[in-house]
Amino acid sequence: MGSENSSPPASPPPPPPEYDRPWRSKNWSEDGQKLLKTVTNFQPGNPEVNPLRILLHGPVGAGKSSFFNSVNSALQGRITTRALANSTLNAEKTFTLECKTYKVKNSDTGSFFPFTFTDIAGMDKTIGIKTDDIKKLLNGHINDGYTFNPVKPITEEDPKYNKNPILKDKIHCLVAVLPANTVSGIDEKIIKQMREVREKARDLGIPQVIIMTKVDEVCPLVKNNLKKIYTSKKIKQKMEECSNSLGVPVSCIYPVQNYHEENTTNTTADILILDALKNIVNFANDYVEDQVDS
């Protein structure tokens, strides 16, 4: 009888949204200028392969063009929009159709940084870029300016097809861009295509990393304070999802917040972007040096 009035057992408290200690070390007070100096002073190990070529790929609306713009903004110290990016409100179709390679200008010297970013059409389960085109791009067969055909991949007869690429024409680091807010819902067909590209890069010895965008949209803690990114349980969980999807180790996954509505840069966002850039460039340089040595 007494059980009718007894209170239900108390539910366990929800897990805390963050860890007591950061799971990736970062000195926010010093790293900004240190990272900028490291990237600014970087020179490829082989001057014959200059610039290093970095390829951005991923689903439609993941933030590939926005990531390049954010890198450029962090290096220039002001917001830039050189790569035209689509609004997140209309991201169901790719906005990038042309194979476009961007140089990044060093405002201190007036010359260009020794690395470029190649931006391509987003991957879509129906009308996106063909996987075969990305594989040919990795091998250096597609010249800048090629317009992707969603119906058929490039052929050797195309004037933008490079039949005899050398090391400097090839991609030196493959960067997958995945959105944290929708990574768990990406169509399996797209994940399969991205795995195929990753496996091709692996067979070629090309290093791969993941840039995880839109971190502010999955974790209120991080949205309120970006410096919480490396203590957030939600962010680490999403990084593990990215790792499981493509097979890239968590150590090679970099969470960032792209610039999209800001009109000025901020140090914390710059540190995350420049840290990712530093590692991407180093991986690309390691690959080039390995190819030369062999």
Beta strands per DSSP E along the chain? 52-57, 100-105, 112-119, 173-179, 208-213, 253-255
Give 116-169 pLDDT, tens digit per residue.
999 888 888 776 678 899 999 999 999 988 888 878 889 999 999 999 999 999
C-alpha atoms less than 13 angstroms from C-alpha of 142 in its C-beta half-sphere: 26
Poorest-confidence range of 87-91, 106-110, 207-211, 276-280?
A: 87-91
pTM score? 0.90
Give 49-92 pLDDT, tens digit per residue.
999 999 999 998 899 999 999 999 999 999 998 766 554 444 44
Structural contact between residues 140 and 251, judged by C-beta atoms closer than 8 angstroms: no
The C-alpha R_g of the chain, in whole angstroms, comes to 21
With a cut of 50, say whether residue 227 has pLDDT above it: yes
Residue of higher predicted confidence among 240 and 25? 240
Which phi and psi angles does 279 have, rounded to 5°?
-70, -40
- Per-residue pLDDT, 15: 59
Provide mean pLDDT across the span 250-260.
96
